[in-house]
């Protein structure tokens, strides 16, 4: 081997060349700033065929500029979601404190599987998990948890604990060995990942029971209780119940305290092991920043209407203490970098349902049960991005800063709801949910949207009329999309089913989600103007 060439390769890619790295990072930062300075820039077309047909790798070793050039076209062609006009879904811009955390993590590149591979980064994970647990569980004594690669995996952990709770030994023996009938339960407005999880843990997607919601997108408690009664009467086990704390489209929140009471009472009645009560708070967890906000002092000078909303938020947040486990996506309302999802248990002892012995993981012979996550995590290699971005964001922005961000999102959402409610041809669908999301109908002028919706609720809308109105709602949304000024008009979202299904109807809706801190009232003014001009 040519040692001179080898040494040059090592010096280029494995020794610190701070100036070269800083120069390239400054170029990328300048490019990102330039892209953000042009609001409404058209999205570049994607050409998957070209990508497939050009997989060649450079033959000769290059330098860091070659690395930059390899990814730059794709970097330039990727939206940053930093524009205040981005309202289409539950994603906001990543905050700059999170960026600092992410860069620090990448420089050290820890693997959070064991202390040996991550050292103090595992300590940081524990600190971040405990900080989030103190927010979400309100009063908790001994929480624990891990960061995962996404909300689906975090929900998977909750379902798996539930399966082991009601059928001990399933990890070793499998479902077939027990011969038991097992189901899981979630809200009809819950995330589709619940169905994915039911399939992946082996109970089957057909064994996931979806409980319909009320008009506020909250799981109907009467139907939940009836379902539990029915399952237990047929000698069926319920492994988990996934309650939603902020549904993806309309921000529905389930009554966690009431669900807990039903679970405990009905399972005792039939002498069945209580299912895991897991909370999918991937979207809504950030409301817990407001749990202890002093409404009497009102240091942020919230309006009376906003205080009323925060009061309802606080009541919902305090009920999270009755949950067994929770999913948090910091990369959503926490405006952190991907991936920064976390799975947290209210009681550390519940991790026993996932535990393996050191003999099961000989690769990590030095692992200790008192901390090393490799002994209970689904993943072996786990990145440290989550705890680094979370703690940098939490402490950088501060509790009062987070309260301002969350409260402003709620305020903007309520403002849009109020403005839309003044238009006869519009109907706000999630008027009473407490979150940053707004779902609504837009119908042609001359139609009374509220009257049509009331007929739908009463079962007095014929299938033909229902389809005609739903088509009009979709057609007007598409018309706005085609005629919108990308430099001025907000990018809105559309859902074919916002989560409430009277008489089995999948109700479509326009959608706006106020996650971007730079969005202001002028954006709402423009939305209303565009609707008036549209219809």
pTM across the whole model: 0.95
- For residue 178, the model assigns a pLDDT of 81
- Beta strand extents in 157-200 (DSSP E only): 182-187
Q: The domain 406-534: what is its CATH number?
A: 3.90.1150.170
Residue with tokens 């339960």: 185
CA dihedral of 400, 406, 407, 412, whole degrees rounded to 10: 150
Do residues 327 and 154 make contact, with C-beta atoms less than 8 angstroms apart? yes
| 297 alpha carbon, distance to own chain's centre | 32
Q: Long-range contacts for 223-227 (Cβ within 8 Å, ≥24 apart)?
A: 224/185, 224/259, 224/262, 225/262, 225/266, 227/185
pLDDT tens digit at each of 535 positions of the chain: 889 999 999 999 999 999 999 999 999 999 999 988 876 666 666 778 888 888 888 889 999 999 999 989 889 888 888 899 999 999 889 999 999 999 999 999 999 988 888 889 999 999 999 999 999 998 888 999 999 999 999 999 999 999 999 999 999 898 888 888 999 999 999 999 999 999 999 999 999 999 999 999 999 999 999 999 999 999 999 999 999 999 999 999 999 999 999 999 999 999 999 999 999 999 999 999 999 999 999 999 999 999 999 999 999 999 999 999 999 999 999 999 999 999 999 999 998 898 877 666 666 666 666 667 877 888 888 999 999 999 999 999 999 999 999 999 999 999 999 999 999 999 999 999 999 999 999 999 999 999 999 999 999 999 999 999 999 999 999 999 999 999 999 999 999 999 999 999 999 999 999 999 999 999 999 999 999 888 7
DSSP 262-305: HHHHHHHHTT-PPPEEEEE-TTGGGGGGGTT--TTT-TT---HH
Name, in order, each residue with C-beta under 8 angstroms of 77's C-beta and a sequence gap of 6 or more.
Answer: 43, 44, 46
In DSSP terms, 440 is beta-bridged to 428, 510
């Amino acid at each position: 081997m040519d040692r001179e060439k080898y040494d040059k390769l090592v010096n280029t890619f494995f020794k610190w060349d701070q100036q070269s790295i800083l120069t390239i990072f400054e170029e990328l930062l300048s490019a990102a700033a330039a892209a953000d300075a042009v609001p409404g820039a058209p999205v570049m077309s994607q050409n998957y065929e070209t990508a497939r047909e050009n997989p060649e790798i450079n033959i000769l070793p290059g330098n860091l500029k070659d690395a930059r050039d390899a990814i730059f076209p794709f970097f330039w062609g990727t939206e940053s979601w930093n524009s205040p006009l981005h309202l289409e879904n539950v994603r906001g811009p990543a905050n700059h404190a999170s960026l600092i955390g992410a860069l620090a993590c990448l420089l050290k590149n820890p693997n959070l599987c064991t202390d040996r591979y991550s050292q103090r980064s595992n300590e940081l994970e524990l600190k971040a998990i405990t900080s989030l647990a103190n927010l979400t569980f309100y009063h908790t004594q001994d929480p624990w948890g891990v960061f995962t690669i996404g909300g689906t995996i975090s929900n998977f952990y909750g379902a798996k604990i539930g399966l082991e709770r009601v059928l001990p030994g399933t990890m070793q023996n499998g479902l077939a060995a027990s011969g038991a009938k097992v189901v899981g339960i979630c809200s009809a407005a819950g995330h589709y990942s619940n169905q994915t999880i039911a399939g992946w843990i082996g109970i089957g997607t057909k064994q996931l029971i979806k409980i319909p919601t009320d008009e506020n997108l909250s799981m109907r408690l009467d139907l939940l209780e009836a379902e539990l009664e029915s399952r237990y009467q047929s000698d069926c086990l319920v492994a988990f119940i996934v309650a939603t704390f902020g549904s993806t489209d309309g921000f529905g929140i389930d009554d966690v305290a009431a669900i807990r009471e039903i679970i405990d009472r009905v399972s005792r009645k039939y002498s069945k092991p209580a299912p895991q009560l897991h909370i999918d708070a991937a979207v809504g967890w950030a409301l817990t920043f407001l749990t202890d906000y002093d409404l009497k002092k009102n240091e942020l000078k919230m309006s009376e209407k906003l205080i009323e909303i925060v009061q309802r938020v606080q009541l919902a947040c305090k009920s999270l203490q009755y949950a067994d486990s929770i999913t948090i996506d910091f990369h959503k309302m926490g405006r952190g970098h991907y991936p920064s999802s976390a799975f947290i248990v209210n009681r550390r002892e519940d991790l026993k349902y996932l535990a393996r012995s050191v003999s099961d993981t000989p690769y990590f012979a030095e692992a200790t049960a008192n901390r090393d996550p490799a002994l209970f995590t689904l993943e072996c290699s786990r990145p440290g991005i989550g705890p680094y971005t979370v703690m940098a964001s939490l402490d950088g922005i501060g509790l009062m800063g987070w309260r301002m961000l969350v409260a402003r999102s709620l305020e903007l959402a309520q403002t849009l709801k109020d403005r839309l409610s003044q238009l006869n041809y519009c109907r706000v669908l999630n008027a009473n949910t407490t979150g940053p999301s707004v779902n609504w109908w837009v119908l042609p002028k001359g139609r009374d949207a509220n009257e049509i919706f009331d007929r739908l609720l009463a079962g007095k809308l014929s299938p033909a009329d229902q389809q005609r109105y739903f088509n009009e709602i979709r057609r007007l949304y598409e018309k706005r999309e085609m005629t919108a000024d990308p430099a001025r008009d907000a990018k809105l979202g559309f859902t074919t089913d916002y989560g409430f299904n009277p008489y089995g109807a999948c109700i479509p809706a326009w959608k706006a989600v106020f996650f971007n801190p730079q969005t202001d009232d002028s954006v709402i003014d423009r939305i209303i103007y565009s609707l008036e001009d549209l219809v």
